[in-house]
């Protein structure tokens, strides 16, 4: 593997099937360092599978992904140590929080850096305290997930992902499991990360949020990227009829 000039993400010809169901049909795109890319599209279009493939939670059947200077070629079997290094480049924020219920907020955030990365405990704790303050949870260190609202749990999930010091943060529909009144607090945290220059890939159904936060929007349908561009190009002035139909249903529901 050779060094890349920056921490951008390059995905080339990503393919994934589950049995006879081909979900990703050769997807390629680039996310420049310090930018936010949102992925929109109908249910079943492959958005979550694409995100999980980038993180190698689902191993692609084929394709090459480079995050910074770490590359994984999924056309063959990726060696275990290389796969571990590759996965360490990204942090994942899930739909349903996926917090450890028996651990406190602070323990959830420090788990990965301590156990997986084996970093010094004092340093990890100090960083976790700072991160929890950044996501508005400075007073929740000793509480358990069951004592938090859904929005607070998701903000813990964001802090947990950032604690791993990833080069890219992946968000899988981070507001889909939240009550409507809690959506704004989570989107506000993500918006702040974009402003701070984190490299973000966000699967979302929040079109107005995608318009506000994105440098690049990808519209996926039936396992391919059908349209890509800036929010002004894809959301405000889509070229493809399928994109226009999708946005009309989302933005102007009956």
At residue 178 the predicted structure's pLDDT band, cuts being 50, 70 and 90, is confident
Q: Write out the DSSP string of 59-106.
A: --SEEEEEETTEEEETTSPPPHHHHHHHHTTEEEE-TT----TTS-HH
Lowest-pLDDT range of 9-18, 37-46, 112-121, 137-146: 112-121
182-202: pLDDT as tens digits: 888 888 999 899 888 899 999
Above 60 in pLDDT, residue 3?
Answer: no
Mean pLDDT on 200-211: 92
Mean pLDDT on 124-145: 94
Domain boundaries, the chain: 97-165
pLDDT at position 68, please? Answer: 87
Mean pLDDT on 39-66: 94
pLDDT at position 7, please? Answer: 67
Helix pair angle (150-163, 121-134), 10° resolution: 140
pLDDT at position 217, please? Answer: 97
Neighbouring-strand partners of residue 200? 36, 169
Between 5 and 137, the more confident residue is 137
With contact defined as beta carbons under 8 Å apart, do 16 and 58 qualify? yes
At residue 92 the predicted structure's pLDDT band, cuts being 50, 70 and 90, is very high
Above 90 in pLDDT, residue 44?
Answer: no
The Cβ of residue 120 has, within 10 Å, a number of other Cβ atoms equal to 10
- Strand 90-93 and strand 168-172: the pairing is parallel
pLDDT at position 6, please? Answer: 56
Above 80 in pLDDT, residue 144?
Answer: yes
Nearest to 135 by CA among 199, 191, 200: 191
- Tell me, rounded to whole angstroms, the distance of Cα 228 from its chain centroid: 18
Above 80 in pLDDT, residue 78?
Answer: yes
At residue 130, what are phi and psi to the nearest 5 degrees? -65, -40
Distance, in Å, from the CA atom of 131 to the CA atom of 110, rounded to the nearest integer, reads 11
């Amino acid at each position: 593997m050779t060094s890349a000039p920056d921490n951008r993400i390059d995905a080339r010809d990503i393919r994934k099937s589950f049995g006879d169901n081909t979900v990703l049909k050769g997807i390629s795109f680039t996310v420049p360092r310090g930018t936010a890319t949102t992925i929109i599209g109908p249910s079943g279009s492959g958005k979550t599978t694409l995100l999980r493939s980038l993180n190698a939670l689902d191993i692609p059947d084929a394709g090459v992904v480079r995050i910074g200077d770490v590359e994984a070629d999924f056309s063959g079997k990726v060696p275990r140590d290389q796969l571990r290094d590759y996965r360490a480049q990204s942090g994942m924020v899930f739909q349903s929080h996926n917090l450890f219920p028996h651990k406190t907020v602070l323990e959830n955030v420090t788990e990965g850096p301590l156990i997986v990365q084996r970093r010094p405990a004092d340093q990890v704790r100090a960083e976790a305290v700072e991160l929890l303050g950044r996501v508005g949870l400075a007073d929740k260190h000793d509480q358990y997930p069951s004592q938090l609202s859904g929005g607070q749990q998701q903000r813990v999930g964001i802090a947990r992902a950032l604690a791993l010091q990833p080069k890219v943060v992946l968000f899988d529909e981070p507001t889909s499991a939240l009550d409507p009144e809690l959506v704004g607090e989570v989107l506000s945290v993500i918006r702040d990360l974009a402003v701070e220059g984190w490299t973000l890939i966000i699967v979302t159904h929040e079109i107005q949020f995608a318009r506000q936060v994105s440098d690049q929007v990808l519209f996926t349908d039936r396992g391919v990227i059908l349209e890509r561009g800036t929010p002004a190009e894809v959301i405000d002035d889509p070229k493809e009829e399928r994109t226009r139909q999708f946005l009309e249903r989302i933005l102007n529901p009956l």
